[in-house]
Amino acid sequence: MEFLPLFFDLKNSNVLIVGGGEVAKRKASLLVKSGAVVHLISPEIKADLVELIVSNKGVITKDVFSEEFVKNKRLIIAATNDQAINKHIADLANQLNTPVNVVDQPELCSFIFPAIVDRSPIIAAVSSGGSSPVLARLLRAKIETVLPSTYGRLAQLAEKYRDKVKLAFSDVNKRRGFWEKILSGPVSEMVFAGKEKEAEQLLKETLDSKESPKRELGEVYLVGAGPGDPDLLTFKALRLMQQADVVLYDRLVSQPIIDLCRRDADFVNVGKARANHLVPQDDINQLLVDYAKKGHRVLRLKGGDPFIFGRGGEEIEKLAENGVPFQVVPGITAAAGCSSYAGIPLTHRDYAQSVRFVTGHLKDDTSDLPWSELAYLNQTIVFYMGLMGLPVICKKLIENGMPKETPIALVQQGTTPNQKVIIATLDTMVETLKTQEVSAPTLIIVGEVVSLHDKLKWFSPIKDLNIA
C-alpha cells in the first residue's frame, strides 16, 4: 500500500495553496467544502478563484512564494507550473513535518487527493496512489451509480440515534445486528423514498421493542426504463431494480435492461402489443396490489416514461385506492431518446416553436385527433404507437393544410443497436414503406426538424434510409 487512506478534520484550520490557476481552484474547492481556511499565494490568480477564497473567509496574497508562508499550516499544496518551486515547497514542508501535496508529482507528496464520492457525512474515496488518476476517476463514477445521494440523510438519522442505541444494546454484537437490520431494511427504504419522518418513527418503534422492523405491507416501484439503451437509466431506477423481489415488465423493455434487475427476483411478463394484451391492464393493476399486500417489493418496469402514454397513472390510481405505498421514477420518454439518437432536435428554434406528443390510437383504438391543430406550421409532432395508423396520419395532416413535402421520420427501436431511421415526406412515406420492413416499437416524427437528420445524426448502427 503506497499511501494510507486517512480523513483529515480541517475545520477552521489554516492550509496553504501556492498557485493561482485551474488546478489550484479544484484543490481550493475541496478544501473550503471541508471547512478549512485557505491561504493562497500566487503572482497571478484567476478571478473566480479569488472569489471562492474570499467568500469563504480565506486569505489572498498576490505575490511570489517565500518561505514564511509555510509556517503554522496544517496542510500545504504546491500547484504551480514551476517544478523547481514545487520541489522547494515540498522540501520546506517536510522539514516542518507538514503534510504536502505537489500536483502531478506523486514522488514529492506526503499525501494525495483521492477521487471523492461525497454523500456527507458518508464519504467514499478512491486512489491509484498517483499511478493513474484517470482510472481512479472512472472507478469513482462506478461508485456514484450505487451510492444514492440519500445515503447522507440515512447516516444523519443513524447518528441522531447512535447514543440511544448504545444505551439500549450494551452488547456490541447485538448493537451491530440492530443497525444492520435498520440500515438494510424498511427504515432505509423510507429514507431513500423521501419519507424521513416515517422512517424515524419506525426506527423509534423498533428501538423501543428491540425487534427487527417488519414489512407487513410491501411497496411498488413504478420505474421508467427509457427507450432501450441501458446507459439511459437513472441512478435511482437502477437501485430499485436491484432490490425488488418481483418484477413486472413490458415487452418494450429491452433484455439488457431486464438483465440489470436483481437476479433472484420473480419475473412476470405482462407485455402488451396492439390487439394482443398478454395480461389485461386491469389484471396488471390488481397484480401490483396483490404482490405488495404479500409484503413484496414490486418493480413495475415500463418502457420510456411511465406517465407519457405508459398507463402509469392508471396503475398508481389502483395502488392509492388500496393503500399500497409506491414510488415513481421518471424515465427518458421515447420522443426524447429516439429523436436525440436520430439527430433530430425536436425544438430547434429555426424550425419549431413547439412540440406535441400524440398517441397514435386512443383507449378505444380510434384516431380521432385534432388534425387542424396538429397541422400547424413551425411545430414538431411526435406520434407514439402510430405505425398501424401511418396512412391515416399522413392523409389527415395533408388534408388539414400541412404541405405534402413536410419531412417525416420513422425511428424503429431507437437508442438500441437495432435502431433504424427512415426519412421521407408526408406524400411519399406510405409508398416508401411498401419496400421496407418496419416493426414496432417505432416512433413517428413530423416536421421541418426532421430535415436536420442527415447533418446531425451521430448514432447509426444500421444504415439509415433517406428517401425523398
What separation, in Å, do the N-terminal and C-terminal C-alpha atoms of the chain show? 64
Q: Of 87, 195, 272, 457, which is the active-site residue? A: 272
Go through 319-353 and write b for each residue having 16 or more CB atoms within 10 A of its CB, e for each that does not.
Answer: beeeebbbbbbbbbbbbbbbbbbbbbbbeeeebbe
- Grid cell, residue 375, equals 397541422
3-state class (DSSP) for residue 325: coil
Q: Of 250, 302, 396, 420, which is the active-site residue? A: 250
Residue 432: count other Cβ atoms within 10 Å of its Cβ. Answer: 18
Residue 231: count other Cβ atoms within 10 Å of its Cβ. Answer: 7
Contacts of 148 (CB under 8 A, 6+ apart): 119, 192, 235, 236, 239
Active site residue 33: no
Active site residue 264: no
Q: Is the dihedral of CA 171, 172, 174, 179 positive or negative?
A: positive
Contacts of 328 (CB under 8 A, 6+ apart): 222, 306, 307, 312, 316
| Residue recorded with cell 500566487 | 42
- Grid cell, residue 348, equals 430547434
Which residues are annotated as catalytic? Answer: 250, 272
